[in-house]
Structure 1
Amino acid sequence: MDRKKHRIMMVSDFFYPNFGGVENHIYYLSQCLLKLGHKVVVVTHAYGNRSGVRYMTCGLKVYYVPWRPFVMQNSFPTLFPSLPIIRTILIRERITVVHGHQAFSTLCHEALMHSRTMGYRVVFTDHSLYGFSDAGSIHMNKVLQFTLADVSQAICVSHTSKENTVLRSGLPPEKVFVIPNVVDTAMFKPAVVQPSRSEIVIVVISRLVYRKGADLLVEVIPDVCRLHPNVRFIVGGDGPKRVWLEEMREKHSLQDRVEMLGAVPHTQVRSVLISGHIFLNSSLTEAFCIAILEAASCGLLTVSTRVGGVPEVLPDDMIILAEPDPGDMVLAIERAISMLPKVDPQVMHHWMRELYNWHDVAKRTEIVYDHALKCPNQNLLERVSRYLYCGVWAGKLFFLVMIVDFLFWRLLELWQPAEDIEEMPDLTLPHISNKETLQETK
């Protein structure tokens, strides 16, 4: 049976040339959807002098709209002024499904809002976990509640992430699918010659911030070095907590046993991973943790804190979980050291290649798009009335915002009818086998 071909617009503030889990997810998912015969365009903000339309591998079209990042790679929230350009892209590319990524992305929220105003089906993927008590999380959860009030379908990267998103947004659980993150195993292969086990090397690659458990590392590393003279640490990453680790290294005279690499480019992550035996993740909160998949694909045994969606990532023989407590983490590392003789990096890599692959994720995402298109059409009053349930005062404000957005859209329709916007012809490329390795274009 022929599959329905979708025309998808991926939207997020986070995309190449910036690097991160969300950026990689959008790129590889888009590449696989193209290979399945769908049309995909990406919309993000400008990065430096990268503005306008660019093409990437397999004809992936990227709109770098001329907005500059405001804070943490996010564009400045404009609310209504972004409607004209979003509308133009939707009409030019004849989009059928709009797919927004990351709750922290301003552009994602605005694009989903405008798309629903125009009657498009929208899908949202949440890549992170948020709390409920601090001021930042409270405000972000209210924004998410507004965005998802009229979303067609949603995707989370783990069951823990799904529970978190449902609680934060009030979205019906039956609208939320769970599709895990994936690593490109072709980029993360074990070393041909394994490092000697006469010296045990523990690798840490992470942003050195509180949320990633940098404070735990300050206490764990000296204790492990004291108990095991043949253990050495390699720490890759940068952040405000880096100075704490450097002070710890000086205080305990561990300069020759703790190597600080600073920020590690994504293209060099594998070379750092294959120099070690154990990968240590000390995060205090994680929706999924793609770094664990990269380490496991390189054949490293993982020690991680038991938080968020981490317990769902790997089987028990590939990961050792510990409570986010220094003492428990030290015990977990000792257990990992004793398990090293039984670890076969090639077997681990083969298992990762079979279980986690982007083509499987693309096919599962394709099903979500099919469900989104089957959602019944509703009139304006039925759709905007959903926003009244977002709170006593916030609900009325959200309702007013959507009414103004609808009136602005109708004004644009009068000023520049859709028929006056030139539709772009589809780029036709020769068929590419699904077995070919994806090549990243930066």
Structure 2
Amino acid sequence: MKSSLHPARVVALIFAGVILLGTALLMLPAASSNGLSAPLVTALFTAVSAVCVTGLVVVDTGTYWTALGQVVILALFQLGGFGMMTVATLMGLLVNRSFRLRTKMIAQVESRSLGVGDVTSVAKLVLVVTLVVEAAVALLLTLRFHLTYDVDWPGAAWSGLFHAVSAFNNAGFSIHADSLMGFATDGFVLTPVMIAIIIGGIGFPVLQDLRTRFTDSRHWSLHTKLTLSGTAILLLGGFVSFVFFEWANPRTLGPMALVDKLLSAIFMSVSARTAGFNALDIGALTHESWALHYLLMFIGGGSAGTAGGVKIGTMAILVLMVVAEVRGRPDCEVFGRRITTASQRQAITVMVLGSAMVVLGTLVILRETDFPTDQVIFEVISAFGTVGLSTGITAALPESSQLMLSLLMYTGRVGTITLAVSLALGAHRMPYRYPEEHPIVG
């Protein structure tokens, strides 16, 4: 009997294939400004970072790469954020508007929609939201760059488009050497970018739910309620914490006016959860702000969006499990619903595997470099969470450490569970169950 690949394996393999294709394109002499072929590790790291919508770089995007190279990078993070399997679903929809069951199953792994029948509607929503948001933000940024900063129309249009697509896909790539630090006090630039980041990172199942039941919050799915409430808590908590930690820092918020401080603080809170843009010098932040970044970057955004991390839903379920255990409740409950045991086990699995990858990456890089531990931890979590923020050491890391970061980015984008399933032989139903026993915990 002919065997076929598990859908999760197809997802992992396609992402890997696009990375290899991107690497080959970036190694073309025409892609580098010096006219020479880019080194393999440089091209590979950039391709992984782009496809995995991370934003970590080892060379300056705006000066090292030519227009061709920048177009390739934009295409890679557009594909990575859009979801390779969502693209496949859309292409099949446009061709014959019908799908084989297996095609839907493959697309479901990437879109993480709630049912096989939802794939078509999710794919349509992905396309519409992507085009509308990116076009609107690109237009606003183009006008601002040209009218306020005297950038010529072609340059303003390219910069506007590049940053709009990068923001919506939570990619964090910028063609400016200092990312968005030059616009730290410009709300007309930072606000559209923040809106694109939030919409892209909240997750398409949530957007689908809001589209169909926007005014009827009582009937929103539990996933939508957890994601929206978790997003609000993280954004507000991050904003308040950054204001507290950086208010008097002479290298960040200290010299700014009140309104500019608040703008930069909220942008930091939004970007830290996986977008990767920085309006302030990350290396100049206090150690408390770095620690806060660890948490926000590791959690990330919503499932099935362009954000990375272990996801808000995962963290919410774990917190609710702790609350239920402390209160002595047999079930994990919230918003009048009981969370299934399978979801709880998935959340634990994602958290354990994610934590293990962060620890492994930290140990490997610490062994190979002399950089401070807190900076290494920052880079590792930023890579695994596909965030892209850096304290400034990425380019100075040895190639072996850069390859380790590449592995972390790939794992973080494909997803710990998807990658694990793709490597496993497959689930097996056991014909028996062992007797139950309760070992001592704690």
- Pick the TM interval, shorter chain: under 0.3
Which structure's CA Rg is the greater one? 1
TM norm structure 1: 0.28
Instruction: Give the helix-richer structure, 1 or 2.
Output: 2
TM norm structure 2: 0.28
